[in-house]
Amino acid sequence: MCSIFGIFGLQPGDDIQALRRQSLDCSQRQRHRGPDWSGVYLGEGAILVHERLAIVDPAGGSQPLLSADKQLALAVNGEIYNHTQLKGELTRDYAFQTESDCEVINALYLEDEPASFLNRLNGIFAFALWDAAKGRALIARDPLGVCPLYWGHDKEGRLRVASEMKSLVDECADVAQFPPGHWYDTATGELTKYYERPWRDYDAVDGVNVSLQELREAFEAAVHRQLMTDVPYGVLLSGGLDSSLVAAVAARYARHRIEDGDKTEAWWPRLHSFAIGLKGSPDLAAAEIAAAALGTVHHGFEYTFEEGLDALPEVIRHVETYDVTTIRASTPMFLLARRIKAMGVKMVLSGEGSDEIFGGYLYFHKAPNAREFHEELIRKLDALHNYDCLRANKSMMAWGVEPRVPFLDREFLDVAMRIDAKWKMVDKTRSDAQRMEKGILRQAFDGQLPESILWRQKEQFSDGVGYGWIDGLKAHAEAQVSDRELAAADKRFPFNPPQTKEAYFYRSVFERFYPTPAAAETVPGGKSIACSSPAAIAWDASFATMADPSGRAVAGVHEQAVAAI
């Protein structure tokens, strides 16, 4: 994973060399994402800059990737997990210039329409492809927005794109997020949605069941695909269900090299796992249990509240949000990424996405029926790019560590999301797996984790690192923000006015780095909690009055759930 920056629509009268220098300066602001090498393409109508984090083909594969005739220039942030299969399916010759997994995008572009070939890619990506012969740029983002991408126009009207907002905000008054699952064609000026799945409609999944074996095998295949790497890697292991399942499956495949079909021993055959928390945190204790059972080389790191507080401004600058939940969880993840980077690891697998697929958040206990449960899953998946995907990607990539998310693998999603939500719902009257959130997932992997991990109650990451973290942040914000300031929050911040002193504090820090109205508008709602969901409020009216995003605060569900187990 890397960073991209591009300017399109250059005109004959433009000072091309000045724009090239400016492009390098803008791209440098996101070089933390790609510290290994920088590449520049300068054409008659476009400039592309790529900052590379070398994961596959580190000796070659530098970008932008050029076709043999130099007519195509491609800058990609991401990984294409099925690139070998796609190469084998090509119907016309293409002279590959590198071993990069991403170069297959150039070949597919030459033989197929974007709406078709984009739906064949299984990976995480944001890319800009320049076709010099046609004077056309194609810009696209992966289905769920795992990889960040922003766009806007400079004062001359030229289109600019970048992996992070910080590279655009000074030049583009209209900077915005590029929508996931879409592609844009500069030749037509059309933004087109390419990712549409039947399972988005509950009627398409009503009555559908998937065997536990099929669900398990689909997830195992997803993890196996995403172990594609030529550099040292590891797993994030909080000791919760999701990260522990990722680690368990990865440990099974770690000894063999995925790149040659598991025929040879892996270059780094010992799987390393990583956790972080305050001293005595629930996650650190649970991660030790999981790691011991799985046989990983485990690294549990402690941080102090003061270390987390000191990092907050830098965290907000990197993650480019003022959302309370995201900042709370991003800070320990940011600190963990720094530790991981120091150990020479460049890629990690993580457990994001499971809660959105299986209804793992505690307020899902209140869902009245399968249809509403499923519709809320779709809403959560659609919002992931603003919250958990943004947090995982930007807080880890701040230190040049690539996070991969097997639960959001395209093929696994097609299996897990076609299950009727009635099999995912919590039913406290039952004594089987459905008495608890994500019961079907726990049941599918029965016997593969210690019971205390397999049936561990849901904790938000910011809770699991230690309850003192959230409580301390609230106390600090209370001391920093006066009652009068909070009362006038809507005057200072007309868009998404903060509702708590903690939210006000984060918004003030965000404004120091990103003071423009457009930057503020890239954060929808400024609140990612259950209370912000119209469906959740309909399920339980008490959600409407809650301003605290902590899992502990969800109308007593946390305590009720724990007591019921």
pLDDT in tens, 230-260: 889 999 999 999 999 999 999 999 888 877 8
Percent share of the chain, pLDDT over 90: 82
470 is in an annotated binding site: no
With 80 as the cut, is the pLDDT of residue 564 above it?
Answer: no
Mean of pLDDT values over 97-124: 96
> What angle, 0 to 180 degrees and rounded to 10, lies between the N-to-C axes of helices 501-513 and 324-342?
60
For the four alpha carbons of 192, 198, 202 and 203, in that order, the dihedral sign comes to positive
What element of type H or E holds 20? helix 16-28
CATH number for domain 3-196, candidates 3.30.565.10, 3.40.50.2300, 3.60.20.10, 3.30.70.330: 3.60.20.10
61 has pLDDT over 80: no
Spatial separation of the C-alpha atoms in residues 241 and 253, rounded to whole Å: 19
Q: How far apart are CA 190 and CA 543, in angstroms?
A: 39
Q: Is 101 annotated for ligand binding?
A: yes
Task: Of 37, 41, 44, give the one whose Cα is nearest residue 23.
Answer: 41
Question: What SS3 state is found at 162?
Answer: strand
Q: Are 477 and 501 in contact (CB under 8 A)?
A: yes
Give Dmax over CA atoms of the chain in angstroms: 73
168 is in an annotated binding site: no
Whole-angstrom Cα distance, residue 401 to residue 379? 29
CB atoms within 10 A of CB 188: 9
Class of domain 205-527+535-564: alpha beta
Comparing CA positions, the residue from 83, 117, 274, 311 lying closest to residue 195 is: 117
Any idea where the domains of the chain sit in the sequence?
3-196, 205-527+535-564
SS3 track for 248-312? HHHHHHCCECHHHCCCCECCCCCCEEEEEECCCCHHHHHHHHHHHHHCCEEEEEECCHHHHHHHH
Predicted pLDDT at 459: 66
Q: Is there a catalytic annotation at residue 2?
A: yes
> Residue 467: its pLDDT value, please?
82
Q: Which pLDDT score, from 0 to 100, does residue 510 have?
A: 98
Residue 563: pLDDT over 50: no
The separation between the first and the last C-alpha atoms of the chain, rounded to the nearest angstrom, is 40
Residue 484: is it exposed, middle or buried by C-beta count within 10 angstroms (0-12/13-18/19+)? exposed
Active-site residue, from 2, 26, 389, 531: 2
Crossing angle between the packed helical segments 241-253 and 282-294, to the nearest 10 degrees: 30
Query: Average pLDDT, stretch 395-400?
Result: 98
Q: How much of the chain is helix, strand and coil, in % rounded to 5?
A: 45, 15, 40
What tokens were used for 255? 């000894």
Tens-place pLDDT, residues 7-51: 999 999 999 999 999 999 999 999 999 999 999 999 999 999 999
236 assigned ligand-binding residue: yes
Residue 362 annotated as lining a ligand binding site: no
Closest CA to 83 of 62, 67, 98, 64: 98
